[in-house]
Amino acid sequence: MSLIEDTVIVTGGAGFIGSAVIRELIATTDMKVVNIDCLTYAGNLQTVADVSSNERYAFHQVDIRDREAIDRLLAEQRPRYLMHLAAESHVDRSIDGPAEFISTNILGTYTLLEAFRAYADRLGDARGEIRFHHVSTDEVFGSLGADGLFTESSPYQPNSPYSASKAASDHLVRAWGETYDLPVVVSNCSNNYGPYQYPEKLIPVVISSAVAGKPIPVYGRGENVRDWLYVGDHANALVAIVMRGAVGRTYNVGGNAERTNLQVVNAICEILDEIAPRPDGEGYADQVTFVTDRPGHDFRYAIDASRIAAELDWRPRESFRSGMEKTVRWYLENRDWIEAVRAGAYDGRRLGLGGRA
């Protein structure tokens, strides 16, 4: 029996980015893909419905903090790669209730690392053939001013409970790589958008509010800047990193698409004006409403993705316009998915005020 199988375990595979990674792996590789997800409010197996009948796909409902279950899966599946995407990820929710972010993002990552270390130790000389890929965010670097870009050597300065928990998990992965010679890679990405994003995030909120004729909420004056990355491009980058990235290396993944939040909202409104115009003939931008800003709202994030371009020959395939049009069309065509989510754990209310009006 082989010590290692051509298998990828994806944690958080029923989430937004994790499901995109699973679809990418099934479409572009011959590997078996094992999705482990505990199906919190943001986990939805409909995100992987297109591949669920594929013979190379399997799902296990497992909490990454359950060491016994993780040990058992590693022993059974003998994966070549573990791609760790499971996380509590919404900044606003972390402001309202940080405890779950500390537990899942830090303790969960620690549990996975320890289980993977025990698995690697059993492999002997073959341990060099496996990889633990930790998927993180550019928010760990804090906030940029008007100039400059985050690089892989940027200092960490997280400003929210969410980003602090991800920063801690990044450090754990690096430390386990150095201390225990664990074959790890880390990636930090810019803001993702695309199909199946949970409706509490900016772009789904804008689309849903616009077509429902409701006010489109924009935090502060909409001047905060993000680099926007289409989720399909991100998934493609993550597969390249886990399979071809250098052990111990960190890779920044960005979309080369800096926009202020207001520019993003206006772009969505323009697309909606073209493909789903309002019955009254007015523009959707008339619905924009400025609301109380998020506490500690970082001003600007921007990614220098030159390392992954040079070392792995990866670049985003979608422009901001093409990716956003695909996204808007998907949400218009899948309103039943949004309504099903809204009927469950998310009722559309404003989050992240931290108890402040």
Would you say residue 330 has pLDDT above 80? yes
- Region of 213 (left: φ > 0; alpha: ψ -120 to 50; beta: rest) is left
Would you say residue 346 has pLDDT above 70? no
**Orientation of helix 108-123 relative to helix 67-77, angle to 10°:** 40
- Neighbouring residues of 220: CB distance < 8 A, sequence distance ≥ 6: 290, 292, 293, 297
Would you say residue 329 has pLDDT above 90? yes
Domain spans of the chain, in order of start: 7-196+229-256+298-318
Task: Encode pLDDT of 136-161 as tens digits.
Answer: 999 999 999 889 999 999 999 999 99
Strand partners, 303: 150
At residue 1 the predicted structure's pLDDT band, cuts being 50, 70 and 90, is low
Q: Where are the beta strands (DSSP E) in the chain?
A: 7-11, 32-36, 57-60, 81-84, 131-137, 184-189, 191-193, 216-219, 225-230, 250-253, 258-260, 288-291
pLDDT of residue 347: 44
What residue spans of 29-90 are helical by DSSP H?
67-77
Would you say residue 196 has pLDDT above 70? yes
Task: Report strand pairing: 225-230 vs 258-260.
Answer: antiparallel
Pairwise pLDDT comparison (230 vs 198), residue with the higher score: 230
User: Mean pLDDT throughout 289-313?
Assistant: 90
Closest CA to 330 of 88, 89, 90, 46: 46
Distance CA 136, CA 98 (A): 17
Record the pTM: 0.92
Closest CA to 64 of 113, 8, 122: 113
Task: Report strand pairing: 288-291 vs 131-137.
Answer: unpaired
Q: Where are the beta strands (DSSP E) in 165-253?
A: 184-189, 191-193, 216-219, 225-230, 250-253
User: Mean pLDDT throughout 216-242?
Assistant: 96
| 7-196+229-256+298-318: CATH superfamily | NAD(P)-binding Rossmann-like Domain (3.40.50.720)
Would you say residue 114 has pLDDT above 60? yes
Share of the chain above pLDDT 90, in %: 83
Active-site amino acid positions: 138-139, 162
**Orientation of helix 202-211 relative to helix 320-333, angle to 10°:** 50
Q: What is the DSSP letter of 303?
A: B
pLDDT of residue 348: 46
The three-point CA angle 278-283-289 to 5° equals 110
**Orientation of helix 202-211 relative to helix 261-275, angle to 10°:** 40
How far lies 236's CA from each of 82, 84, 181, 228, 240, in Å? 16, 15, 27, 15, 6
pLDDT of residue 351: 47
Distance CA 102, CA 167 (A): 11
Share of the chain above pLDDT 70, in %: 95
Average pLDDT, the chain: 93
Distance CA 229, CA 246 (A): 23
Distance CA 338, CA 320 (A): 23
Q: What is the DSSP letter of 58?
A: E
Would you say residue 319 has pLDDT above 50? yes
